[in-house]
Amino acid sequence: MLLEAIYHHPKQNWSYAYDKDTVHIRIRTKRDDVQKISIVAGDKYDWDRTKTYLPLKKWTSDSMFDYFTGEVKPPYHRLRYAFLLESGDESVWMEENDFLEEEPENPDRMFEFPYINAVDVFTPPDWVKDAVFYQIFPERFANGDPSNDPEDVLPWGGKPERDNFFGGDLQGVIDHLDYLTELGVTAVYFTPVFEATTNHKYDTEDYLQIDRHFGDADTLKKLVDLCHDRGIKVLLDAVFNHSGRTFKPFIDLQENGENSKYKDWFHIRKFPIEVEDGIPTYETFSFEPLMPKLNTENPEVKEYLLKVAEYWIKEVGTDGWRLDVANEVDHEFWREFRRTVKKANPEAYILGEVWNESSPWLQGDQFDASMNYPFTNAVNDFFVKDKMDAYQFANSIGRQLSRYPLQATEVAFNLLDSHDTPRLLTLCKGDKRKMKLAALFQFTYIGAPCIYYGDEIGMDGDGDPDCRKCMEWDVEKQDRELFAFYQNLIRLRLSHPSLRTGDIQFLEADMEGTQLAFERKNDNESIIVLMSKSEKQAHFAVPVKADTYVDLLSGMEWPVKDGKLCIDVPAYGYAVLQAVTA
């Protein structure tokens, strides 16, 4: 065994409380190096009577490592443990500071999970595990109230630019709630709805007012109530990293300079407030002069923003916040933000915009989840852009699974495109076969899937602003076959708990391969998903344990021969099969 590759740390994603009674334990080894791992575990104050031996299972892998996992329910919520690693005739014990040839006798030198304190358990809202999100860019979804249109509004469906308006508003969403219900989504994420000057509203002018071109607080309250009546949750966008240039404190700063009482609300590099050679003399989002960065360490700024966070949860009944540019805001602010929001609504979902590995924010003291762009990149690189083979894709997914506590993965926000990226169909160069494979994986993988408005009817669009086209409401111009495909994906996901929270195991993912097979299972069901990116018919012979499987999409039954599920899948085809006999 390569001992240098073995890693465990009794913190974070390696050893954590999954619930008030259960500790999850993980350990990493060199890939294909260790065959079997078990632990000896017990209570440090009553070791002899509580000592028990438990096997771990090989849970996932990446290109270099295997990850083993197991769960323990310590009778007194305290835990000491050591590992036994075996490979062929070789075995070694691992305690906190050393490797041993014999089982350690002294629990004081073992790894320790001191105590499961209920208040410390990372507990995201359960409803997110079952959610199917739909992202709406309000200015481009539907114009329901022409009386609140901007003066320079353009006819619906024109070419989107960074600075033009088409009159989309909250009433437009209300008018099309039947459409969302028909599609089957159970949660909606809105990009910002607060007073601002741009069409995207990320330059907030007033955090306590709904943008006048969208409606007012009563309109939002009506929308939220109607959504709730349909079983649809509502997530708003909080832009707390920066404000807009027309935010009153920043106006005061521009007018009064160093004498402004708000000078410490922002990050000023030097006065006067201006732009020199394209670079503002104050910190901003990117180098955008319209978006001055807020000083969230300032007590007054913190008080104001936390009031905003609480206000819309309490007054309107929204179900959580998506946090813009979340990784550029200090961690302490987000800790206080979480306490404030969870006090207002313990079931509120806190979703941070972080485009990379997000573990510093996913320890239970800040976010419930992050926007899962590493997932986005892996899915698009394999299914859409052909930059990965099946083996590399499975490794990428395995690496991501290993990084976070399970409860964070279960509520991850899994998207394939957004208002910040080219649309999925455009990435696929119009090939709906690729798009369907990507979406199928998205909907059969752990975490909450999100559809960007219009993807389900075949809308295309390159990067911003082209990805922000007006929603197509002419049914004759909608791709209704694609719409039905998304409907079926949603029904499939909502009908089978194993697709939402079950284990995942890759059964086939070959180097230089175009075929992918994986299993999602829980205690009650097993579902096998087969996917092929080949231009030719693909043959699968997947080792399984059940005797018969039924295709959940076609209804066909498939017998198992010699322990293998043998199926031919057409070019760029797929099958979703449920075990029906043991």
Cα gap 242→192, rounded to integer Å:
13
Task: Please answer whether residues 128 and 411 qualify as being in contact, where contact means their C-beta atoms are separated by less than 8 angstroms.
Answer: yes
Tokens matching residue 571 = 């070019």
Task: Please answer whether residues 515 and 558 qualify as being in contact, where contact means their C-beta atoms are separated by less than 8 angstroms.
Answer: no
Burial of 531 (0-12, 13-18, 19+ CB in 10 A): buried
* DSSP string for 103-123: ----GGGSEEE----GGGS--
Facing residues of 69 across strands? Answer: 26, 57
One-letter amino acid for residue 457 of the chain: I
Angle between helices 217-229 and 299-316 (to 10 degrees): 50
Facing residues of 6 across strands? Answer: none
Cα gap 373→368, rounded to integer Å:
15
Task: Please answer whether residues 404 and 369 qualify as being in contact, where contact means their C-beta atoms are separated by less than 8 angstroms.
Answer: no
Beta strands in 393-533 (DSSP E): 413-415, 448-452, 503-509, 515-521, 526-532
Q: Any idea which residue has 């969230």 for tokens?
A: 296
Which of these, 254, 246, 245, lies nearest to 273 by C-alpha position? 254
Q: Any idea which residue has 């219900």 for tokens?
A: 181
Tokens matching residue 414 = 């899994």
Cα gap 333→345, rounded to integer Å:
18
Q: Is 425 helix (H, G, I), strand (E, B) or coil?
A: helix
Measured from the Cβ of residue 574, the count of other Cβ atoms closer than 10 Å reads: 20
CA atoms within 13 Å, Cβ hemisphere of 476: 0
Q: Is 434 helix (H, G, I), strand (E, B) or coil?
A: helix
Cα gap 401→68, rounded to integer Å:
12
Burial of 527 (0-12, 13-18, 19+ CB in 10 A): buried
Which stretches of 230-368 are DSSP H helices?
248-256, 299-316, 331-344
Measured from the Cβ of residue 515, the count of other Cβ atoms closer than 10 Å reads: 19
Q: Is 54 helix (H, G, I), strand (E, B) or coil?
A: strand
Which stretches of 89-205 are DSSP H helices?
170-175, 177-183
Cα gap 282→299, rounded to integer Å:
19
Q: Rounded to 5 degrees, what are φ and ψ at 455?
A: -55, -35
Tallying the residues shown for the chain, one arrives at 582
**Which residues belong to the active site?**
324, 353
Q: Any idea which residue has 């990784």 for tokens?
A: 327
